[in-house]
Structure 1
Amino acid sequence: MTTYVWDHRREYENEREDILDAVDTVFRSDQLILGESVRGFENEFAAYHGVAHCVGVDNGTNAVKLGLQAIGVGPGDEVVTVSNTAAPTVLAIDAVGAKPVFVDIDPDTYLMDTDQVAGVITDRTKCLLPVHLYGQCVDLDPLERLAAQHGLKILEDCAQAHGARRNGRMAGTTGAAAAFSFYPTKVLGAYGDAGAVITSDDEAEQRLRKLRRYGMEKQYYVVTTPGHNSRLDEVHAEILRRKLRRLDTYIADRRAVAQRYADGLGDTELVLPQIADGNDHVYYIYVVRHPARDEILKALKELDFEFNISYPWPIHTMTGFAHLGHSVGELPVTERVADEIFSLPMYPTLPEDLQEKIITALRDILGRG
């Protein structure tokens, strides 16, 4: 049986009774859209982060998009971010009419190289959008200083960092707002698409609530454009409420999986995840690196192990973003890393015996060289 990076079935079997009860709770309720389950999840997710507000939306892409709109980013503005991210980060910037401006990444953590940010700020820059990638946090201290100096907003992309911390401060609690995805693979995942934006800015929260519901302030009356139907649905909200109670357990289990990889592969030529000082990693993805990546993946596939690469193509090199005017060679670290990284299976219920087989296969392949 082919082994992939993620498998939800064991988790579902473990939690099946609670998940089905969540569905039944919603279906027996008197409100199927923006009801008690959405309100409850929003309150509980905000409380988990110690912020004032959470606004549930339909997916992580729209969480970034609506988050940008809520903090005032629009046509003609520039948003500083990275090219080593999932495409939705940049698609959301493009969707609000803003221009993404890329900086390179740190060669050890693959996170935004914050030393490069000051050099790309212009009079059009409106927002700094750090991506807390793979499960650990960007150092926001220098970004906070730049934001204060230039009058900028920070929107944190936390799609891969639920519960991650830096120097005790939780991802998503520093900027003007933070966007989350609850895609099924995430550290906190629904059973389909879902997302949220958290903020302690009352005005941003009010704008978010209008924007996710057609721009309406009251029934049938649009006060804000462009609004969309971007609501978090009740079923996913109720499932997320139940799973939020187990989030810290999921994180502990992911760290245990990461430790087994470190113990089993630490003496090989693979470059294992490097944790930045002060970070508490939650291991959304366990990304390793080797210059012979493609040969290793080919050998693994012959053994019926098929793994993922996050991400094989930097955003600025994709034809879909050719209108941004970038070219290969502009972000050398990002481009080099994209040629060498791949992800090992990482999820809380990864069986230990399967993980041992993965470690053994990798050690055998690496030993051949």
Structure 2
Amino acid sequence: MIPQANPGAGYLAQKAEIDAAVARALASGWYILGKEGEAFEQEYAAWLGTTRAIGCANGTDALALILRGLGIGEGATVATVSHTAVATVAAIEMAGATPLLLDIDPDTYTMDAEELAAVLGDPPPGLPPIRAAIAVHLYGQACELDPMLAACAEHGVALIEDCAQAHGATLHGRKLGTLGAASAFSLYPTKNLGALGDGGVLATDDFELADRIGAIRQYGWKERYISSMVGVNSRLDEIQAAILRVKLTALDAGNARRRAIAAAYDAALAGGPLAPPARRPDAEHVFHQYVLRSPHRSDYMARLKAEGVGTGIHYPLPVHQQSAYEGRVALGPAGCGETARAAQEVFSLPMYPELADEQVERICAALRGLAG
């Protein structure tokens, strides 16, 4: 069976370099917020094209830290989508803010820009003021960001980019994560840039915001053991930072390989019952996931499994329909109808750079077989 995800393959592809980096970090005798972490932050900011990057414990914390750094918490609403990993919504509540969940564009599965503009212009009654919007760049490509940025600017709302699935994706030639007030990246092992454990990083061009978040991630310390503001404990450890420095060197090549695999899948699907994923114009997709859609999802997944091809579902139940949130989180005027429909139909093919050519061809053969 070809697995839908295989983070262990990423380790084996760079095993010698990763093992050496881990040994270097262990030998240093410094394991939290040391030279490896500082170097990773500098190298990631340079690769991304921002002035600052700050490592933290995970991608959820990265979002929550941005909100805390912006002073957005209790008494504020944050708009985002329900078709996302639950971490996006969890981060809003971690910061003490109120989530407002909007619908998606059915072609790209990203936030409906028109609905965002509508709720900013005419906020739903009974909610605190909307102070921020979290735009989730899902599956590896950009949201319809231009009108979102304009609407947020018009209403004095911070736009935060959730780039957990979009390391290296671009819009108008600029990397995602450089367009909003700040951006958050998960470094979970299956991500395009993944640690061998947990990790996160956030980025911004706002030096004051970066300094504030840098203090918040470690108890609000600017001076050791002295909290100048309320903070948390969310630090990227030195071993993971050392590993990420190695893996960052292969990220661009890995993204190129993902695009090549996606092109092969596109060709295999031609003339068949399933359409390739939509691509946004003037944007470069990095295919964190290659997502197909059908009301007959279970049948297609079973047929692919019979051919030795693993699949996944991202995501099977919208956040607003999960028992922890159902009936208590606010929805936008569209009621997340497109979100609910997508959750019943989407499924993901294997997608990671280490897929061998022979495995890609096996998957393509199985896809061609779906036309029969």
Bin for the TM-score computed over the shorter chain? over 0.9
Q: Which moved more, 1:55-64 or 1:101-110?
A: 101-110
Distance, in Å, in 2 between the alignment partners of 1:242 and 1:10 is: 15
2:146 to 126, 141, 150: 141
Distance in structure 1 (CA, Å) of the matches to 2:321 and 2:10: 36
The aligned amino acid for 1:253 is R
- Report deviation, 1:326: 5.4
State yes or no: 1:237 paired with 2:241. Answer: yes
Post-superposition CA distance 1:36-95 (Å, at most 9, x none): 100001011111122111110010110111111112211121111111110000000111
| Correspondent of 1:317 among 316, 321, 336 | 321
Question: Do structure 1's residue 92 and structure 2's residue 87 form an aligned pair?
Answer: no
Q: Which amino acid aligns with 1:316?
A: H
Q: Report the equivalent of 2:4.
A: 5
- 2:78 corresponds in structure 1 to 79
Matched residue, 2:186: 181
1:228 positional shift: 1.5
Residue 124 of structure 2 is aligned to residue 126 of structure 1: no
Counterpart position of 2:311 = 307
The answer as to 2:350 corresponding to 1:345 is yes
Deviations 1:291-318 (A, max 9, x none): 2001222333344433110011111111
2:335 counterpart of 1:336: no
Taking the aligned partners of 1:97 and 1:366, their CA distance within structure 2 comes to: 50
TM-score normalised to structure 1 length: 0.95
CA contact (8 A) 1:101 1:120 kept: no
Gaps of 5+ in 1: none
Matched residue SS, 1:192: coil
- Please give the per-residue CA displacement for 1:102-157, whole angstroms capped at 9, x wherever unaligned: 22111111111101112112370100110011000112211221122111111100
SS in 2 for 1:34: coil
Distance between the aligned counterparts of 2:367 and 2:7, measured in 1? 23
Give 2:112's aligned residue: 113
Partner Cα separation in structure 2 for residue 181 and residue 361 of structure 1: 32
CA–CA separation in structure 1 for the residues paired with 2:55 and 2:149: 26
In the alignment, the residues of structure 2 paired with residue 187 and residue 235 of structure 1 have an alpha-carbon distance, to the nearest angstrom, of: 19
- Classify the secondary structure of the residue corresponding to 2:140: coil
More displaced stretch, 230-239 vs 6-15: 6-15
Q: Does structure 1 conserve the Cα–Cα contact (< 8 Å) formed by 2:41 and 2:55?
A: yes
Q: How does 1:355-366 map to 2 (within 5 A)?
A: 355-366=360-371
Q: TM-score, normalised by structure 2?
A: 0.94
Alignment of 1:214 with 2:185, yes or no, is: no
Contact residue 168 and residue 252 of structure 2 kept, 8 A: yes
| Conserved 8 A contact 1:300-1:361 | yes
RMSD: 1.7
Aligned to 2:157: 152
In the TM superposition, what whole-angstrom CA distance separates every residue of 1:168-206 from its partner, at most 9, and x where no partner exists? 111000111100011111111111110011011112111
Give the C-alpha shift of residue 216 in structure 1.
1.6
- Contact 1:56–1:196 at 8 Å: present in 2 too? yes
- Could you tell me how far apart the structure 1 residues matched to 2:159 and 2:31 are? 34
Distance 1:81 1:325, change over 3 A: closer
What is the aligned counterpart of 1:162 among 148, 162, 167? 167
* 1:57–1:195 Cα contact (<8 Å) kept: yes
Match of 1:252 in 2: 256
Whole-angstrom distance in 1 between the partners of 2:43 and 2:181: 19
Whole-Å separation in 1 of the counterparts to 2:101 and 2:8: 38
Once residues 36 and 7 of structure 2 are traced to their aligned partners in structure 1, the CA distance between those partners, rounded to angstroms, is 23
Q: Percent identity?
A: 42
User: Judging changes above 3 Å, is the alpha-carbon distance between structure 1 residues 333 and 290 closer, same or farther for their aligned structure 2 residues?
Assistant: same
Distance 1:362 1:50, change over 3 A: closer
Count, aligned residues: 365
Cα distance, 1:14 vs. partner?
2.4
Per the alignment, residue 69 of structure 2 pairs with 70
Cα deviation for residue 325 of structure 1 reads: 5.3
Distance across 1 between alignment mates of 2:330 and 2:107? 27
Distance 1:301 1:252 in 2: 27
CA–CA distance in structure 1, aligned partners of residues 323 and 293 of structure 2: 25
